Amino acid sequence: MTGFPWLSILIALPVAGAALIMAARAMAGPAGPGVDRGVKIMALLVSIATLCVSIGVLLQFDPANPSFQLVERAAWAFGLEYHVGVDGLALSLVLLTTAITPLCILASWTIDKQVASYMILFLVLETLMIGVFCALDVILFYLFFEGGLIPMFILIGVWGGKNRVYAAFKFFLYTLLGSLLMLVAIVWMILTAGASSIPELMAHPFTANAQTWLWLAFFASFAVKMPMFPVHTWLPDAHVEAPTAGSVVLASILLKMGGYGFLRFSLPMFPDASQLFAPLVFALSVIAIVYASLVAFRQTDIKKLIAYSSVAHMGFVTMGIFSGSEIGIQGAIFQMLSHGVISGALFLCVGVIYERMHTREIAFYGGLVNRMPVYAAVFILFTMGNVGLPGTSGFPGEITTMTAAFLVNPLVAAGAALGVILSAAYALTLARKVIYGTIENPQLATIADLDSREWVLFVPLVAATLLFGLAPWIIFDFTEASASAIAQAYEAATTAIAAGAHP
Amino acid sequence: MMIEAILVLAPLAGAFVAGVFQKVLGDRLAMGITTALVGLSAILSLLVFIDLIWGGGAPRTIELMRFIEIGAFQSSWSVRVDTLSAVMLVVVTSVAFLVHVYSIGYMAEDPHRARFFSYLSFFTFAMLSLVTANDLLQMFFGWEGVGVASYLLIGFWYQKRTANDAAIKAFVTNRVGDFGFALGIMATFHFLGTIQFFPTEAGDVALFSAEVGGRLVDGVLHNLSHMSLMVGQWSIPAAELTAILLFIGAMGKSAQFFLHVWLPDAMEGPTPVSALIHAATMVTAGVVMICRMSELFEMAPNAAAFVTLIGAVTAIFAATVGLAQNDIKRVIAYSTCSQLGYMVFAAGVGAYDAAMFHLFTHAFFKALLFLGAGSVIHGLHHEQDMRYMGGVRRAMQFTWAMMLIGTLALIGAGLPIEGLKIGFAGFYSKDAAIEAAYAAGEGGRAFGMFAFWIGVAAAFLTSFYSWRLMFMTFEGTFRPNPHPSHGHEDVRPGAASDADLGHGADQHGAHGVDHTPSDAGPAGGSGHGRDHRTGGGDGEGRAAPAGTAPAHESPWVMLGPLAVLAVGAVFAGWFFYPYFIGYKADAFWEGAIHRHHADHHFPIWVLWAPVAVTAAGFLLASVFYLLTKGMAERIARAAGPLNAFLAQKWYFDELYDAVFVKGARALGDLFWKGGDQKLIDGLGPNGVAKAARFGGRQLRRAQTGFLYHYSFLMLAAAVLLGAFAIWAGGGLELLGG
């Protein structure tokens, strides 16, 4: 409670940096390349500073302790509370956020339209994302969760591609409709339980009937965020239209809010309902894996293909979470982090060639390896990660969530394992069409390999993919305490139902 | 012990250095480093093997680092050393080393040698981690690792469309097998709560028993025998289910019937790759896995019967297809497929020792045959269609002699006289497999007798297609190709344009076969050959007298490895027979695989049958391809549909393309355009938006329009809820809770 306010600083730092940029921008006078560059460097420094603070948080954190740490709690306006703290689950996602954001800003170096606004929005978005994972008050969580919509909406709507307005509204409507139901549920919960603190709500025994409705309301929001079948169709459009860094942040971090929500709210607060609906989630997860993989197979736009593969990979996350077992939850968290790295990297890969050629059409490309051998190697590595090759970080999450599913229902695991075959088919076909072969398109004859900025972008992502692929225990150890706490609580609650001891 | 760690990791270090620093090092240094490190690995492997077999070394497990640990789901990076893995260590590292050396000559003109050697070494590492795994997950890592190395090496000449397609086909087909393997891992964990092979600490729960610190820790695998999985009313025995799932993995990697389609196409890769990966090592991984899990297959008689059936069908199927192939590498590829069938059915009838023995000898003579074929292809300026060979023996005497030894080993030439048993390597091992099938059949094991007869029949076909290959390649007069392709090793029409690219044409232009009108052959179209001629031409074609192949013998760096392998192809069977199968076998295996101890005395005809049919195959091939001219073609024409059926590989590619590839495409389109765009977006966001816009203009009609969508949504929701109710209510009960 007392002590250095690590998390508050972490949450506030990006937005404070944004304010600084705003002030600096106002003083700098009319726009120009020099000013833009200064803004970019400032934004990058702010995001790096945030990363450093998050590493400081990591050093303060005791992974063996399953309870919330570095907790700060204070009264706030309107009788509400400011209440933040992290466990292994939350902190791992915070670190993902703070690590990906500097890369996103670096990836936005080529932005030349309203640079200051862009960078300010990005930093605000970072604050909101960190806030989501740190919030321990349900209202605070909701504010951060919904607040993130707005900068993302603007990023797509202003800096997006041709069809950006349609995509932005689709994204906004989908997520907002889901979230409104969640808001109603949150209000009802606070009134019923008399508390808005997440740890207290976790301890509150909601009746089975109430759980069912609350679970569905939260599900509406998180399922859209994940996104799960059949509410996934906003994602491909949003990705296609978003600027590169927007796609990265969307795939790497925003999607993880759904999985985080399931683990923070649905499973611990509504265990009975979670058990009741688990078969539905399994069915939707398997459908997502198979359906989205088959759709990905037919895409002609690189970003759409990767977007659909994201939908498929998130299917493993939901499957793992609602297995309710430690191995499933561990696997789901791992899969989220790994997907954050790999899909982010893949969208950066698309960004590299999009910036050079201004098209994402698969048919436009071909034979890139002849001109861009380093790029080709990076692309193939992340493709293999996407395929879930053992040795890359794509594998441990898939095998553990499937194992968890097998323990519950072998048919679900078998369905999900089909994704193992299908992902190889679509991902390697993409690699063949874009990377291999000869250069047929004369426009590609002079395309250049990665420059030094792009090297800096990819080196950490390559390292993370291999490190967490070969030594996944680094992450598993870190999230073990909180994952097993969630699993044990869930098991205790559901065993109690089975024994008929429920209120 | 550090030795074990070094021997596994040295090739990885080589791969990393050669791959990442190829620009800095240059090709020569990259080749030198990778070859030296694999050589080091080979020496250490040999030391470990010798120590284990003759030096009194004990089976052991060295744990290097944790991998995944979640509760009981535990896997670590380990090096398991026992007879099974030591045999594989020797096979893998020695063949890999020879292939590295050979490739220095074979790939001398390739501009991407550093990348090639990096891939080769990476493959070697992955294969080593597979065979030395102490749990199913590390085995799976190696399993998929060799898969991706194979993908990269098949597609090494990335400018060739056919090579890229073959690479994807290999990877995806193997993934179908991996689907089974992964589920097998999950099933093992589900039933037994562990995926570890041997215990390393006193408290370990592992599948198999082993001594830890002087005390025997019992394995838990035997618990499977009284477990089952309820699916509906059916109770599936746990051992059978797990064994079948794992075997599906083996079918993919070892190119067994149904999942064999990738192996012949994999010949698009450079020939040394075919020798290393698609003959001696990777494709045998399935056999290794079955042998590692031999105790499991012994507990699952139905699964073992299935293994026998698939192995036997593969043996005969691939042999029939091998009869009608004209590409020299594809003949050997189908031969590999067929021999893998022998290994698999031997394992299926419980003769894991015979399976491993055949794997061991096969590695030598099949690598020899592939590298020999590579020498021929190299000598003939990248011609690999046997119709355009002939008379090569005079120009390439050494290669011919090596290929002859390989052929004799493959067909199993030898004399099965009691007490005077003598023959080439394949004679000991293949006959051991065939005899084991006979014994199993006598013992009432399912499909044992079937496998025996298939084994004999396939031995006849093996002999026939092997001699056909030898005669078409080396004997008779040279038949030049009227449509030479200068691409890498590619002879298929239509592929030439893809292959005829940048460095491919340039670097091999100097070797272009010079086609004067007189030797252009009867098929016409000789002008085409001229168009492809680039560079100066080395004049060998012109210098060769009519009817003699314009070939040159390969350099010693290529022939040396052939000679080493030839020693193995001659003596490996004779020398190691007592250890693998004979009287020293129990001491040799030390319980690494399950062994049956029934002492069999075979009727004399059982021993002689394979030898007799092999001789018959030789005689028939001599009549067809040596003594008479054009007889083979006449018969092929007369048997038109049958010949086409065989030449087209039983139309498996066409069938799979129609069902799986086109099916996936159609489903993908249906889901995308029908599901996402029409149904979900149409009813969801777009539908709502449309209805809202409509409503602004025309309230009355909007209501009906909205109702229309609304009713559809209701219907969809009802269907979903109904399905859910069935799933939640009945489905779980059906699954037995």
The model's pTM: 0.89
Write the pLDDT tens digit of every residue in B85-100: 999 999 999 999 999 9
What are the tokens at A488? 């044990």
pLDDT value at A503 more than 70: no
Contacts of A236 in chain B (CB under 8 A): 676
Residue corresponding to tokens 């048997």: B639
CA triple A161-A167-A169, angle to 5 deg: 130
Write the pLDDT tens digit of every residue in B583-606: 888 889 988 899 887 667 788 898
Q: Measuring CA to CA, which residue among B236, B233, B235 is closest to residue B734?
A: B233
pLDDT value at A284 more than 50: yes
The helices-and-strands tally (H runs, E runs) of chain B is 32, 8
Q: Which of residues 70-109 of A touch B (CB under 8 A)?
A: none
pLDDT value at B534 more than 70: no
Nearest by CB: B186 against A396, A413, A436: A413
CB atoms closer than 10 angstroms to residue A85: 22
Q: Which of residues 190-219 of B touch A (CB under 8 A)?
A: 190
Q: Which of residues 485-544 of B touch A (CB under 8 A)?
A: 501-502
* Rounded-to-integer distance, Cα B344 and Cα B315, Å: 9
Asked whether the beta carbons of B184 and B194 are under 8 A apart, the reply is: no
For A397, the 3-state DSSP assignment is helix
pLDDT of residue B66: 92
Nearest by CB: A294 against B175, B187, B671: B671
Asked whether the beta carbons of A68 and A85 are under 8 A apart, the reply is: yes
Q: Which of residues 205-234 of A touch B (CB under 8 A)?
A: 230-231, 233-234
Interface contact flag, A298 B172, Cβ < 8 Å: no
Share of chain B above pLDDT 70, in %: 83
CB of B421 within 8 Å of a chain A CB? The answer is: no
CB of A333 within 8 Å of a chain B CB? The answer is: no
Residue corresponding to tokens 């429920």: A502
* Residue ranges in A61-114 assigned as alpha helix (H): 88-107
Rounded mean pLDDT of chain A?
A: 91
pLDDT of residue B716: 53
Write the pLDDT tens digit of every residue in B152-189: 999 999 999 999 999 999 999 999 999 999 999 999 99
pLDDT value at A132 more than 70: yes
Asked whether the beta carbons of B230 and B135 are under 8 A apart, the reply is: no
Write the pLDDT tens digit of every residue in B187-212: 999 999 999 999 998 888 999 999 88
From B691's Cα to the closest Cα of chain A, the distance in A is 15
Q: How many Cα atoms sit within 13 Å of B567 on the Cβ side? A: 8
* Rounded-to-integer distance, Cα A368 and Cα A407, Å: 44
pLDDT of residue B533: 34
From A14's Cα to the closest Cα of chain B, the distance in A is 34
- The residue of A428, A449, A486 whose CB has the most chain B CBs within 10 angstroms, and thus the best one to mutate to test that interface, is A428
pLDDT of residue A293: 93
pLDDT value at A57 more than 90: yes
Residue corresponding to tokens 């799932």: B245
* Rounded-to-integer distance, Cα B175 and Cα B148, Å: 10
pLDDT of residue A215: 94
CB of A291 within 8 Å of a chain B CB? The answer is: yes
CB of A402 within 8 Å of a chain B CB? The answer is: yes
Q: Burial, A214: exposed, middle or buried (Cβ in 10 Å; 0-12, 13-18, 19+)?
A: buried
Interface contact flag, B675 A291, Cβ < 8 Å: yes
Cα-to-chain-centroid distance, residue B470: 23
* Rounded-to-integer distance, Cα A119 and Cα A137, Å: 28
Which pLDDT band holds residue B545 (cuts at 50, 70, 90)? low
pLDDT value at B143 more than 60: yes
pLDDT of residue A4: 85
Rounded mean pLDDT of chain B?
A: 83
Looking at chain B, which residue has its C-alpha nearest residue A416? B179
Q: Which of residues 169-188 of B touch A (CB under 8 A)?
A: 171-172, 175-176, 178-179, 182-183, 185-187
- The residue-averaged pLDDT of A171-179 equals 79
What ipTM score was computed for the predicted complex, to two decimals?
0.94
- The residue of B22, B63, B68 whose CB has the most chain A CBs within 10 angstroms, and thus the best one to mutate to test that interface, is B68
- Residue B115 has φ and ψ, to the nearest 5°, of -65, -40
Write the pLDDT tens digit of every residue in A294-320: 999 899 999 999 999 999 999 999 999
Looking at chain A, which residue has its C-alpha nearest residue B183? A414
CB of A294 within 8 Å of a chain B CB? The answer is: yes
- The residue-averaged pLDDT of A132-155 equals 89
* Rounded-to-integer distance, Cα B321 and Cα B581, Å: 31
Contacts of B229 in chain A (CB under 8 A): 410
Write the pLDDT tens digit of every residue in B476-501: 888 887 876 554 444 333 333 333 33
- The residue of B488, B671, B683 whose CB has the most chain A CBs within 10 angstroms, and thus the best one to mutate to test that interface, is B671
pLDDT of residue B694: 54
Interface contact flag, B668 A471, Cβ < 8 Å: no
What are the sequence ranges of the domains in chain A? 1-147, 148-498
pLDDT of residue B692: 54
pLDDT value at B259 more than 50: yes
Which pLDDT band holds residue B625 (cuts at 50, 70, 90)? confident
pLDDT of residue B725: 45
CB of A411 within 8 Å of a chain B CB? The answer is: yes
Q: List, in order, residues 6 or more apart from A125 with CB less than 8 Å away.
A: A148, A151, A152, A155, A249
From A394's Cα to the closest Cα of chain B, the distance in A is 12
Interface contact flag, B185 A437, Cβ < 8 Å: no
Task: Identify which of A398-407, B320-329, B507-516 has the greatest average pLDDT.
Answer: A398-407
Interface contact flag, A406 B681, Cβ < 8 Å: no
Write the pLDDT tens digit of every residue in B295-350: 999 999 999 999 999 999 999 999 999 988 889 999 999 999 999 999 999 999 99
Share of chain B above pLDDT 90, in %: 56
Which pLDDT band holds residue B729 (cuts at 50, 70, 90)? very low
Q: In terms of residues, how long is chain B?
A: 737
Interface contact flag, A295 B675, Cβ < 8 Å: yes
Contacts of A478 in chain B (CB under 8 A): none
Q: List, in order, residues 6 or more apart from B49 with CB less than 8 Å away.
A: B86, B87, B89, B90
- The residue-averaged pLDDT of A77-93 equals 88
- The residue-averaged pLDDT of B101-108 equals 93
Contacts of B499 in chain A (CB under 8 A): none
**Rounded alpha-carbon distances, angstroms, from residue A16 to A12, A93, B316:** 6, 21, 74
pLDDT of residue B645: 80
N-to-C CA span, chain B:
47
Q: Which of residues 303-332 of A touch B (CB under 8 A)?
A: 326-327, 330-331
* Rounded-to-integer distance, Cα B523 and Cα A184, Å: 81
- The residue-averaged pLDDT of B669-696 equals 70
pLDDT of residue B538: 39
**Rounded alpha-carbon distances, angstroms, from residue B679 to B112, B674, B703:** 50, 6, 20
- The residue of B20, B69, B70, B259 whose CB has the most chain A CBs within 10 angstroms, and thus the best one to mutate to test that interface, is B70
pLDDT value at A450 more than 50: yes
